[in-house]
Chain A
Amino acid sequence: MASSNSLMDSLFQRSLEDLIKGLRLGESTFISRSLEEIRREIKLTDLSTKSVALQKLSYLAALHGVDMAWAAFHAVEVVSSSRFAHKRIGYHAIAQSFSDQTPVMLLITNQLRKDLNSSNEHEVSLALECLARIGTDDLARDLTSEVFTLLGSSKALVRKKAIGVVLRVFDKYPDAVKVCFKRLVENLESSDPQLLSAVVGVFCELTAKDPRSYLPLAPEFYKILVDSRNNWVLIKVLKIFAKLASIEPRLAKKVADPVCEHMRKQNVGKSLLFECIRTVFSSLSDQETALKLAVAKIREFLVDDDPNLKYLGLHALSIVAPKHLWAVLENKEAVVKAMSDEDPNVKLEALHLLMAMVNEDNVTEISRILMNYALKSDPLFCNEIICSVLLPCSRNSYEIIVDFDWYLSLLGEMARVPHCQRGKEIEHQLIDIGTRVKDARLELVRVSRALLIDPALLGNQFLYPILSAAAWASGEYVEFSKSPYEIAEALLQPRTCLLPDSIRAIYIHSAFKVLVFSLGAYFSAQQPTSPPLAQESTSSGHSMVNGFTYNSISSLVNMIELGLCSLSGTIDVEVQERAKNILGFIGMIKHEIAEKATSQNSETEGHRAIAFMEDVFSEELGPVSSTAQEKVPLPEGLELNENLEGLQEICREVLEPMAESDYSSDKVSFSVAKLRIRDQEEASSSLPPPLESSSLLAEHRKRHGLYYLSSQKSEDHNDREGNDNNTSNEYPPANEISVDSFKPKKKISKPRPVVVKLDEGDEPKRKPDASSSNDESLSRAIQTALMGKGKGKEKEKEIVKENHEMNVDTENIEQSSRREKKNKKNGERSSKRSSRRQRGKEASVTKPVEVPDLLL
């Protein structure tokens, strides 16, 4: 194919069709050869050749991933041709390949302007389409007046496209609103459904971003809602009202009637019907008649054979579930049936709905059903099920769980589900329940023991978090265990070498706790006059603890020593350190045990060591509220205003990068840690020499105590004296209310155990992101435009003031956009991006807009 065509190549240009045919016969080398040809052809002066080359290039770029950015200038050349065919190819290429970084972007402004002003409506529409796709800030600004003219064009086609472009223009250049908004609103009154559809579409998008500003237009939208017969238009108008009604409840009442009218129609299209239902469920759910009608209609969806409708029915139900659970309960059978549907989407929706129905009474039953499903399902769905059981059960500090023993055994069961990958959540809940629910600790230890003993589980990496929780719980609450020896043995079994080092460290530490507890039990049992052990609880399965004979304790110690000997040389520092610590401890008390068999001396070093260790582990670890830090009372004589200028500098460097991205607790702790290190450095350098360095730190801590993170509980308890009342603040008197008012149902025999809840939510607080001047100015501009429509003469002064503000804002926009351009990397606009996520917040920042009275 190569040589025989070379003559042909040089004489004739390959057309697009030839290119395609050639491609179908043989690909990659053909592409590179064609690219060479194209590069040659595109540089020629003849516009026809150039445009064919450009067309071929566009094809290759669109479907074969070839880069065409290098041909940008040539595209501009082609567009300047007077022939329509060339223009079309040129604009198509531009729309496909130009971006904000294209250097020749400036060159097309004039061309666009010329074409926008052309009398040939097709040229105009080409230009509009191109502008819609690639419009930049500059283009938007420069071509606003042309777009404005076209908004009033006599040709409907042109007007329609201009409306489509308007959205993009507003987006890039908010000041365009002043010019174009009026005409845009005028088009709302048009009778041409296509035009209307375009306008309503634009408003749909605008309203989604900032509903409050468009509230004054509600009467116009209402007219459209009542009069229009076009489904597309109606769907969009419904979307608009969904947004408006959620911020203005009086609107909801007015709109409910026409919506019901549409729903009741005989041959209403399913898409429109669904949109009506969705609108009712999301924003009009307070309107009773509308709600009831919508629920009746949704049932039709649920029983339909078409999977699309079934899915949508379930989806709609999940929207209404939070506020009106009865709607879901009415359709329970359909939901359960959908659980066994083959389509994963349908199953997922059904799952979410089932969990929405869960409450105190049926949680056991539903969980049982779901776990059965989980065992039969594929891994993905199985984990979805597990996740969706975990979530509602843990909501509000396990509000719906009455029988924690059952729930803990359920968690243990989940760990044994073959596909389970939700280790982290289960781990979190196990530990959480352990710290909050005293009465459940016995069961927790029982479940943990079962998990620890099983060597098979150690091979499953997804279960490691759960095992780590089990190990921690076994160590922390060892006093509830029947056989500490068994626990220690399980914690140190050889197969634990499969665990990652961090979890291994937890295992070892728990083994240590078990050891300390056992030693304590052994020694106090030796002294019959000693008071009962502090850790001893009153639960029944406990009598064995006192049964530590010399043989059993020494075999325990020996076993632990043996298990840890091999670890004293591991590479991981944490594991090695802990192993060595325990071995050292054992070394210290070993002969103590032997002596104990003979003497009763309680003052030896070893004995004191044991007592000390017991003391260390006797303090209970509990949940800490996220607001606890704020509750720390300021100690006397602490001056907050000293030395803060120094911190200001550090803070600015460290905290500024955070302003752009989402607030995350990781970043905070990192920056505060940085702060701490610098503080310490500062402290050691700034204070006068005569003081010792250790008290330097102590003094610095006293002065800037609020900025320090408390790392260990023991530190807290030892350092600060004013802290004892804090402990009681963090553990407010537990839910005695719920226990008292609880009426035991016939099935349940035990009263619900006390769950320690904290006064406020346990979620970390979120900082609000910085708002953007761009969005604000757009909404302010819209409001001005609407108010300046003559709905109030006294607004004149305000408008003047607003204009002045807007001019200032424009300056700000330009300044900030200049600044942002400096910060741009790869075309990413970081701060604008993050601020747009906070659109909802903007709405509340701007002034309240009056709703015209004729609607109320």
Chain B
Amino acid sequence: MSEISFWSNLSLQIRFILLQNRQGKTRLAKYYVPLEESEKHKVEYEVHRLVVNRDSKFTNFVEFRTHKVIYRRYAGLFFSLCVDITDNELAYLECIHLFVEILDHFFSNVCELDLVFNFHKVYLILDEFILAGELQETSKRAIIERMSELEKLE
């Protein structure tokens, strides 16, 4: 499993972010580590399998290969973040929640279809939020302001 050891040597906090629905379809996939297409598929399949079977009463953190996946379900979508074993789980849970709040604000009561049709916007928001696997902006207000600036440029 070459990619596992490869990951652990890159100094990143977040390895990837996945948004998947209950059927396993990926709605958003942002990787901060280089991976082949087939490996990406494998990862998405495995993560989906891991999180979809867990009861809502269980913890929001699972071990994934040599890392951790922190996930939360919002309606029909699973938001999964893959981080280092030593990272602070609660902080990243808040991070996911912040992301969802921003999406909600941006799309006004966001639903899965919004994300499907506006994938480039979602990526834009994500890029403001996380740079090179590091959390760079934690203020909801700042991100929303920035997004409106960017919108004007289009």
A residues adjacent to B (C-beta < 8 A): 16-17, 20, 24, 55, 58-59, 62-63, 65, 67, 84-85, 88-89, 92, 99-100, 122, 128-129, 132-133, 157, 160-161, 164-165, 167-168, 171, 194, 197-198, 201-202, 205-206, 208-209, 230-232, 235, 239, 269-271, 274-275, 278, 307-308, 310-312, 342-346, 827-828, 833, 836-837
Contact = CB atoms under 8 A, between A and B. Distances in A.
A205 B61 contact: no
B116 A209 contact: no
Given A122-B150, A308-B90, A205 B9 contact: no
7 contacts: A201-B13, A202-B134, A205-B12, A311-B59, A828-B2, A833-B6, A833-B9
B32 interface: yes
Contacts of B58: 307, 342-346
Contacts of A55: 120
A274 B61 contact: no
B94 interface: yes
Contacts of A202: 134
B116 A20 contact: yes
Contacts of B28: 62-63
A421 to B, nearest CB: 19
Contact of A208 (B11, B91, B124): B11
Nearest to A67: B37
A121 to B, nearest CB: 9
Nearest to B5: A833
A307 B57 contact: yes
A158 to B, nearest CB: 12
B82 to A, nearest CB: 16
B11 A308 contact: no
A196 to B, nearest CB: 11
Contact of B119 (A59, A99, A307, A828): A59
Interface of B: 2, 5-6, 9-13, 26-29, 32, 34, 37, 40-41, 55, 57-63, 86, 88-91, 93-94, 116-117, 119-120, 123-124, 127, 131-132, 134-139, 142, 146, 149-150, 153-154
Contacts of B94: 271
B117 A201 contact: no
A307 B10 CA distance: 31
A147 B63 CA distance: 36
Contacts of B29: 62-63
Contact of A346 (B12, B59, B89, B119): B59
Given A55-B120, A307-B58, A346-B58, 5 more contacts: A232-B91, A270-B90, A342-B57, A833-B5, A833-B9
A209 B11 contact: yes
A84 B91 contact: no
B89 A312 contact: yes
A157 B150 CA distance: 13
Nearest to A130: B127
A833 B146 CA distance: 38
A320 to B, nearest CB: 15
A88 B63 CA distance: 35
Nearest 8 CB-CB pairings of A with B: A271-B90, A132-B132, A164-B131, A343-B58, A205-B11, A311-B59, A271-B91, A836-B9
Contact of A343 (B59, B149, B154): B59
Contacts of B6: 828, 833
Given A129-B127, A167-B132, A167-B134, A345 B62 contact: yes
A239 B153 CA distance: 39
Contacts of A157: 146
Given A63-B27, A164-B131, A198-B136, A20 B117 contact: yes
Nearest to A133: B132
Nearest to B2: A828
